[in-house]
Amino acid sequence: MSVQLVGDTKAKLSALRGILGTRYPLKAALLDDASIRGDDIEAVVVDADLRLVANITAVKRISSQLGRIPKRIFLVDDKSRFSTVQAYALGATTVLSNNVDPRQLLKNLAGNDPTLAATSAVDGRAAASAGAASIASMFASVLSGADVDLEGTKRAGGQIAESIAENGLSDWLATVRRHHEGTYQHCLLVTGITVDFGLSLGVGSADLERLYMAAMFHDIGKATIPLTILDKPGRLQPQERTLVETHPAAGYEALKDRADLSPEILDAILHHHEYLDGSGYPHGLCAESIPDIVRILTIADIFSALIEHRNYKPAMGRERAYEIIQGMAGKLEKPLIGAFKS
Ligand SMILES: [Fe+2]
Ligand SMILES: [Fe+2]
């Protein structure tokens, strides 16, 4: 079965693709010239501002085609009574705000309908196992000088993204904490948190893929650092700290010649410890030089390190960890910190 998307702007279509693209085959059309064909379409998601007369007219024009689709979810710009009533009048079976948590949209789409739920995501444990295996394999490749399996990492990252979209972040955190240790646990948690953050920001599917790839790979340079240092309880000696701080550049070096890896992902690996105020490493970059994908990854990375349980430190509660993130406002982007709260 496939899902038809209809949006009044390209940006809305791209955000919807980001949320639904890993789960359903999609067809997308701009409302202005939408024409809906295909017998396999079982649901339509219409995202349009119904305060505009032109949009109402455009939806009416395709109303007979819409009527043949059993499930019709309308996302409205303001969940006002007017837009909601208008959406139902135009044939909606469900009306949601277009600021809705992506998980609620997925839930509404799947509902109790077995055909719609049939393509639903892998379970969290399988995704975590695939993710851990992929991270173990990339670490081993770096140590042995073999090529890192990018396609395998993409598959595992995609499975994690599906699991998060389906089961939510809490479920992912619990699964990863129960079954995985140390650096693998860290990479899996950062991937999950980055995906959940990206979904809540409404990023498109290409950006979501970049985010989970960057997160999976971000600490690959730690493969070369002894576990006695990575897992050392308490403060590191200055020379140990210097060694740990080589991991972003080491990760970049390991992957920089791969033509099939996008420059944005390489940049995120190299710069995920940079801060907006220039106090990070390895290059002491300042705000303008740090792209969005890196800013998102850095917040997820710090938050993850705080809530992790290690042999030498108990896990910190999420509320306390968020307070610490909030306290880093000069180093991390303030609007992103605000958005991260949910
Ligand atoms: Fe790192
Ligand atoms: Fe990290």
- For 278-309, write each residue's pLDDT tens digit: 999 999 999 889 999 999 999 999 999 999 87
Q: How much distance in Å is there from the Cα of 22 to the middle of ligand 2?
A: 25
Q: How much distance in Å is there from the Cα of 137 to the middle of ligand 2?
A: 17
Q: Which two tokens stand for residue 185?
A: 């646990």
The overall pTM is greater than 0.75: no
Q: Which two tokens stand for residue 3?
A: 């899902």
Q: How much distance in Å is there from the Cα of 73 to the middle of ligand 2?
A: 39
Q: How much distance in Å is there from the Cα of 282 to the middle of ligand 1?
A: 11
Spatial CA neighbour of 213 closest among 143, 257, 161, 259: 161
Q: How much distance in Å is there from the Cα of 180 to the middle of ligand 1?
A: 18
Q: How much distance in Å is there from the Cα of 205 to the middle of ligand 2?
A: 23
Residue 37 contacts residue 43 (beta carbons within 8 Å): no
- For 90-125, write each residue's pLDDT tens digit: 888 888 888 777 777 887 887 755 444 434 445 788
For residue 4, the cross-strand partners are 27, 44
Q: How much distance in Å is there from the Cα of 247 to the middle of ligand 1?
A: 7
Q: How much distance in Å is there from the Cα of 12 to the middle of ligand 1?
A: 33
Q: How much distance in Å is there from the Cα of 293 to the middle of ligand 1?
A: 15
Q: How much distance in Å is there from the Cα of 273 to the middle of ligand 2?
A: 8
Long-range contacts made by residues 21-27, C-beta under 8 angstroms, separation at least 24? 21/205, 22/158, 22/161, 22/162, 22/165, 22/205, 22/208, 23/106, 23/119, 23/120, 23/121, 23/162, 23/165, 23/166, 24/109, 24/119, 25/1, 26/2, 27/2, 27/3
- For 251-284, write each residue's pLDDT tens digit: 999 999 999 999 999 999 999 999 999 999 999 9
CA separation, residue 303 to residues 62, 210, 240 (Å):
46, 19, 23
Q: How much distance in Å is there from the Cα of 281 to the middle of ligand 2?
A: 13
- For 124-171, write each residue's pLDDT tens digit: 888 888 898 889 889 889 988 899 999 999 999 998 998 888 888 988
